[in-house]
Amino acid sequence: MTDQELPPGVDPTKPSIAGVYDALLGGHDHLDVDRLVAQEMIDSVPGVVEAPRYNRAALVRAIQYLATDVGIDQFIDLGSGLPTQDNVHQVAQRYRPESRVVYVDYDPLAIAHARALLGDDPSTTIIQADIREPDQVLDHPDLRRLIDFDRPIGLIMCAILHHVMDEENPAELVARYRDRMPSGTHLFLTHVCVADDALIDKLEPISIEHLGTGVFRTIPEIEEFFTVWEMIDPGVVYIPLWYPEEPLPEDPAELDEIQRMAAAGMARKK
């Protein structure tokens, strides 16, 4: 993508969370500066390219579960990033064609690509908003047009809370969203976690230096985001162990360092 093709508000000299993630996934909608950061991560930890793929696969499994087992047909995807294969609306509508989806992101490049992908689809939209401002997000007229707050919602926070720093109180942020959700809403959340200190020492400084964010937290710290929610089995576990589609070792210690790089969990609002 050339500078002339960039939407207003995009600085081609600054990497973005969405762009680096897209580069790691092998996408084509990121900038050169995003690819350089992704390559620095790969050079430091060669297997890191598998981490976003595990995350994306878990998201697909979560949407399928919510659409088929729970019967949810409306979703809010916070920090949705750049479109890729099997986006939330594509998975949801595969199982429940009437599903409605609202994507939320702040990155103008992600917004531009998502709008191009969605076109005139009346059941799906993207809004540009800061997920750290729940009222701004949830009161947005485009979101209100599609989401019925009298019925359960699938609330998605995939690979976004580790970009909310401790001083921004991510647990309180999740609680503010929870308080605005109707009963029966399900939260699906993924987050990078502490499994290998050496891996963290390599990746966290790169993220902080180039993106200004990126915090590895422990599984108990991630579990705190689900306070007051009713956890769905198997609780907060390493991402490959959340509703796996193939046999995996029962002992999490037998997973490799990349498989133990992030955790996933789902819970229901009582």
* Structural domains present in the chain: 58-196+208-268 (3.40.50.150)
| Neighbouring-strand partners of residue 217 | 193
Q: What is the Cα–Cα distance from 105 to 192, expressed in whole angstroms?
A: 19
- Positions of the chain with pLDDT lower than 70, given as ranges: 1-4
Q: What is the 3-state secondary structure (H, E, C) of 183-246?
A: CCCEEEEEEEECCCHHHHHHHHHHHHHHHCCCCCECHHHHHHHHCCCEECCCCCEEHHHCCCCC
pLDDT at 39: 96
pLDDT at 2: 45
* pLDDT per residue as tens digits for the range 23-58: 998 888 889 999 999 999 999 999 999 999 999 999
Please state, rounded to an integer, the average pLDDT across all residues of the chain: 93
Report residue 249 as tokens.
């070792």
**Nearest CA among 179, 153, 5, 165 for reference residue 76:** 153
